[in-house]
Amino acid sequence: MRVVPRWYSVTPIYLDYNATTPVDPTVADTIVPLLREHYGNPSSSHALGKVCREAVDKARQQVASLVGASPDEIFFTAGGTESNNLVIQGTFLKEGNRTAGMVTSCFEHPAVRNPALFHRENGGEVSFVKTDSSGVIDLDELKQVLNDRTRLVSVMHANNEIGTLQPIRELSEICSLRGIPLHTDAAQSVGKVPVRVDDLGVDFLTIAGHKLYAPKGVGALYIRRGQTLLPSIQGANHENGVRPGTENVPYIAGLGAAAQLVMEQGKEKEKQLQNLRDRLERHLAEQIGNGISFNGCLAERLPNTSSVNFPGVEATQLLAEIPGLCVSTGAACHSDSIRLSDTLKAIGIDEQTGAGTVRISCGRFTTEEEVDRAGNLLVEAWGACRQVK
């Protein structure tokens, strides 16, 4: 007899939009005809090829418009991780100097942190700059670690765990004075807050489709005109040679449609997300009272993201009481140890507090009813866990 997991029959409340987003129906409607009918190679000169080339060109224009770039500055990739690797590896391949320097923050996503570590393992110089307790990078320390060997600075626009926005504009001014290219991973911020490449002053910017209501497996990289990268893989001249390989036309078109939706919704959706987040935080603070805290709340942060420290419990135990609530924990708890995330370590969270950290992230399809239900379930589960203790 098949055993059905307890959570299977529960209608889930999805509040993990920073992990991934559902594909928007409009995006799916854009993709399907390109899977079923318009399947040509966009490099082909026949009718089916031309239809696909037009779809790619339209998407390039849509993504460029979203971030205030020119279409020829947008290059499609397989996602945020590839875009980040293209910048980091491509910079040092271009330099022809594997020992050159790079500066980044101490709480980057692994899609930046691990390529940086790989560069260091191969003889490169990498500095990881600290943040303050609010989760904002220390610009004074960053200035101190820049030197004549530094060839790239890469700092995320918004932290994926606590949502804090980094001072990218100020950072770009520092880099510009030294003639150092600046890259920002904007996977978490694009679609949640306004992201314009000239306002930020960046040379490279990463976009991930699945954080933007497009499918997994597609992304984009902005490369400011005049900047160059050597491709890390070799092939034909697709994407102007930056990213060889026949274009994933359906998903690229889907990413374009996702970008268009963001432009049409504008500030209204941003305010709606902030209202939902604040509503949930108020409820938790009122019901739990002393001991509960919210990471990054004193800094400018993403409107949809709440990192909550539940006192006196382990997040894994808390969430086990609510199988239908889809959120993330901030630490991995084992029988004899607690492993905090790099972000929680960076802002000085101790192991006991970090063990109870939960990330809650709302999205386009989140309702007030879901937020209220989630708040009640979390409070009830917290009380149950405290009684067990």
Dmax over CA atoms of the chain, in Å, equals: 70
Compute CA distances 172 → 92, 147, 187, whole Å: 20, 16, 18
The 10 Å CB-count burial string (b at 16+, else e) for 60-85 is: bbbbbbbbebeeebbbbbbbbbbbbb
Q: How far apart are the first and last CA of the chain?
A: 35
Quick check: 376 and 362 in contact, CB under 8 A?
Answer: no
Q: What SS3 class is residue 196?
A: coil
Query: Residue 175 catalytic?
Result: no
Nearest to 368 by CA among 304, 279, 283: 279
Q: CA 324, CA 345: separation in Å to the nearest integer?
A: 29
Pairing state between β 125-129 and 338-340: unpaired
Which tokens go with 17? 């939009």
- Measured in residues, the chain has a length of 389
Catalytic entry in 326, 333, 362, 385? 333
Question: Annotated active-site positions, please?
Answer: 333
